[in-house]
Homo-oligomer: A and B are copies of this chain.
Amino acid sequence: MSDVLERLKVSIRLPPFHAWLGVELIGGDAKAGTATVRMAFKPEFRRSPDSAQIHGGVIAALADIAGDYALAVTLGGGVPTIDLRVDYLRPAEGDLLATARTVKKGRTIGVADVEIKDAAGRLIAVGRGAYSTQIG
């Protein structure tokens, strides 16, 4: 199982959009269906030229990726997103950490929950995604 995690730690960097975001898979548990994804701050993430706050679109992307990898650590690879929901709780700055857990892993549908925190440990957004596990 840890082999899958080691393999995913490498493969998460391969998609060009992941490479640009700089997302890293820093933990996960295949049995529990969890994944922890870190995303270091980049100036291009900002929602305004006058602010260090991160754009909501970047946060949505991180939520999608973390939820996907919560299922991927169990299924062995990423799965297509059916739908994604993100609730923005407070403005976000700096490096972010997304912790995702599998809520359901069905034959055709998987559901994952995501919490995104800033470096101070404040919860800045929550996400929930439905994924198509059939192709997993």
Contacts and interface: CB of A to CB of B under 8 A. Distances in A.
A87 to B, nearest CB: 4
Contact of A49 (B14, B43, B44, B83): B14
Copies in the complex: 4
A83 B84 contact: no
Given A57-B60, A83-B86, A103-B123, 16 more contacts: A15-B47, A16-B45, A16-B46, A56-B64, A57-B57, A57-B65, A60-B86, A80-B88, A81-B88, A87-B128, A89-B104, A90-B104, A108-B134, A109-B132, A113-B126, A128-B128
Interface of A: 14-21, 43-49, 54-58, 60-62, 64-65, 80-90, 103-104, 106, 108-109, 111, 113, 123, 126, 128, 130, 132, 134
